[in-house]
Amino acid sequence: MKVSIIGTGYVGITTGACLAYLGHEVTCIDSDERKIALLRAGKTPIYEPFLTELLADAQRNLRYCTKYAGAIQDADVIFIAVGTPPLADGSPDLRYLSQAARGIGEHYAGDFVVVVNKSTVPIGSGNWVGSLVRESYEQHHGHKANGHFSVASNPEFLREGTALSDSLYPDRVVIGSDDERSLETLYSLYRPILDQTFAPPPYLPRPEEVGAVPLISTDLASAELIKYAANAFLALKISYINEIGQLAEKVGADIIQVAKGIGLDARIGTRFLQAGIGWGGSCFGKDTAALVSTATEYNLSMPIVAAAREINRRQRDRVVEKLLGELKILKGRSIGLLGLAFKPNTDDLREAPAIDIARKLIDRGCKVKVHDPVAMERFQQEYGDMGAVCCTTPEEVADDVDALVLVTEWQQYRELDWEALAAKMRSRIVLDGRNALDRARLTRFGFRYVGVAG
Ligand SMILES: NC(=O)c1ccc[n+]([C@@H]2O[C@H](COP(=O)([O-])OP(=O)(O)OC[C@H]3O[C@@H](n4cnc5c(N)ncnc54)[C@H](O)[C@@H]3O)[C@@H](O)[C@H]2O)c1
């Protein structure tokens, strides 16, 4: 099939690489010329494990463009995968979505195309995108758009860091549309994934337990709500364990054991029950805010989701409070942050706890030293003026600091020579923001080990 994808961010380029690998003819479009130039040169604009390899393997089925003209006119399916960042009131900024929809209407010239919202968009956006596409088509073509377009929702559930595996071997595929022909088209598009009939790339082997992938075929509004409801549920699972963690700390319980003890109940599950600094990233904060904002439009409140957000906000304050508790005075202290990305295996800094924590510490008069295995360049571009000292190694961060904070649980931080780091520090305090380090081992090296919960 001929597929065009608008937006080559984390979602768009992952979708493009996977569909091209499966044999579809894919054109990726992005208004950011720098991103398209990198992709044309065989490089990737984001850090995602195995993306370079998959793009290279699928190269013969991939094209990259900065303009809609010549990139979508005869597509069978057009994905919209542009950003939907939050506005100040929590509702998503739909300007990129609107530009994409109008661009499709202007440049599509075939008989029938399915326009797919892959961006996370508020409930009702499917109908809105449909009306924008048709309006723009009629304006530019001078005749009715009847029958040429159908809009579907195909929410994305990938996790950055494992985006390619999540896309090739998903837990489920959700397709929402009120039109039978769109459902059929998308079913054909995804068939190799649904039936798992493709040969896996050697670097992304099919997990043994993966069989046929369930398809949820539903109406537009339900598909749109599934995405928000899923993200809010994951976010509140994390906030729940963090709330329990606060009590665990007071009563002297071990939150890691508590999480294991409840998570092994199959009804609960162990994932997303790691107590720590809390969630970050481009999705949970934005999507929970959007859910609350949508509910408000219908005169509904969402106290559970709102509480999950508040607990998450507090976890970041707790890092500063804990450092204050240990050091008594923060002004003039030197604090090292290990990890900037919102989670390991990505360079994404959107709503990363490290940024918030660094700001709070700088505001209190601390010198803040930072390191991340892959996000340093992005940090310098986006937050270079914040006043943090960028270090090239964790050892450089440790040099002469009053405390180290593990903010992102990169595997390489777990494996550091902590004994050597201890020798470099002014005082041996480590705040394990992810409860990921070996407390007993660090204590042996003379560290005062402080967890975030429990
Ligand atoms: N990142 C994730 O883990 C994830 C997971 C699931 C869903 N989502 C959702 O998917 C959507 C995209 O997220 P992302 O993380 O890939 O965003 P992103 O910011 O990384 O990428 C968006 C891309 O769209 C491009 N763009 C913007 N307007 C454009 C236009 N009019 N024409 C062409 N290109 C345009 C931008 O230049 C950018 O490269 C969001 O709605 C997000 O909520 C993201």
Instruction: Specify the pLDDT at position 452.
Output: 84
138 and 174 Cβ atoms separated by less than 8 Å? no
pLDDT in tens, 132-145: 999 999 999 999 99
Determine the atom of ligand 1 nearest the C-alpha atom of 283: 43
- Over residues 15-42, the pLDDT tens digits come to 999 999 999 999 999 999 999 999 999 9
Structural domain harbouring 371? 219-454
Q: Are residues 137 and 181 in the same domain?
A: yes
Task: Write a three-state SS string for 227-284.
Answer: HHHHHHHHHHHHHHHHHHHHHHHHHCCCHHHHHHHHHCCCCCCCCCCCCCCCCCCCCH
In terms of domains, do 44 and 55 share one?
A: yes
From the CA of 155, give the closest atom in ligand 1.
7
380: CATH: 3.40.50.720
The mean pLDDT of 345-366, rounded to a whole number, is 97
283 lines ligand 1 (CB under 6 A): yes
Number of domains, the chain: 2
Residue 233 pLDDT: 98
Q: Mean pLDDT, to the nearest integer, of 98-115? A: 98
**Of the ranges 44-48, 123-127, 192-196, 209-213, which one carries the lowest mean pLDDT score?**
123-127
Lookup: tokens for 231: 């993200």
pLDDT in tens, 385-423: 999 999 999 999 999 999 999 999 999 999 999 999 999
200 and 228 belong to one structural domain: no
Q: Ligand 1 in contact with 81 (CB < 6 A)?
A: yes
Question: Rounded CA gap, 279 and 448, in Å?
Answer: 25
Average pLDDT for residues 105-129, to the nearest whole number? 95
Q: Which of 283, 366, 390, 391 is catalytic?
A: 283
How much is the average pLDDT of 371-381?
A: 97
What's the 183 CA to ligand 1 centre distance in angstroms? 23
Ligand 1: atom nearest CA of 158 is 5
Residues 143 and 210 in one domain: yes
Q: Whose CA is nearest to atom 21 of ligand 1?
A: 9
Q: Does the pLDDT of residue 454 top 60, yes or no?
A: no
Q: 189, 217, 245: which is the final residue of a domain?
A: 217
Centre of ligand 1 from the C-alpha of residue 46, in Å: 12
Q: Verify that 53 and 141 share a domain, yes or no.
A: yes
Edge to edge, the sheet with strand 403-406 lists: 389-390, 367-371, 334-338, 403-406, 429-432, 448-451
Domain stops at, among 217, 232, 250: 217
pLDDT in tens, 44-97: 999 999 999 999 999 999 999 999 999 999 999 999 999 999 898 888 999 999
Indicate the top mutation candidate among 11, 65, 171 to test ligand 1's pocket, ranked by most ligand atoms within 8 A of CB: 11
Same domain for 241 and 370: yes
In this structure, the answer to whether residues 109 and 258 fall within a common structural domain is no
Judge whether 283 counts as a catalytic residue.
yes
Clarify whether residues 36 and 113 are in a common domain: yes
Confidence at residue 222, expressed as pLDDT on a 0 to 100 scale? 96
Atom of ligand 1 nearest to the CA of 100: 31
Domain match, 283 and 176 both: no
- Ligand 1, atom 19, residue with closest C-alpha: 83
Ligand 1 in reach of 273 Cβ (< 6 A): no
257 and 185 in a common domain: no
Confidence at residue 91, expressed as pLDDT on a 0 to 100 scale? 86
- Cβ-based neighbour number of residue 33 at 10 Å: 9
Mean pLDDT value across residues 151-172: 97
The Cα–Cα gap between 433 and 451 comes to 6
* 159 and 210 assigned to the same domain: yes
Residue 402 in contact with residue 334, Cβ under 8 Å?
Answer: yes
Both 211 and 93 in one domain: the answer is: yes
Query: Cα–Cα distance between 256 and 252 in angstroms, integer?
Result: 12
Residue pLDDT, tens place only, 257-277: 999 999 999 999 999 999 999
- Written as one string, the DSSP assignment of 336-398 is EEE--SSSTT----TT-HHHHHHHHHHHTT-EEEEE-SS-HHHHHHHHGGG-PEE-SSHHHHH
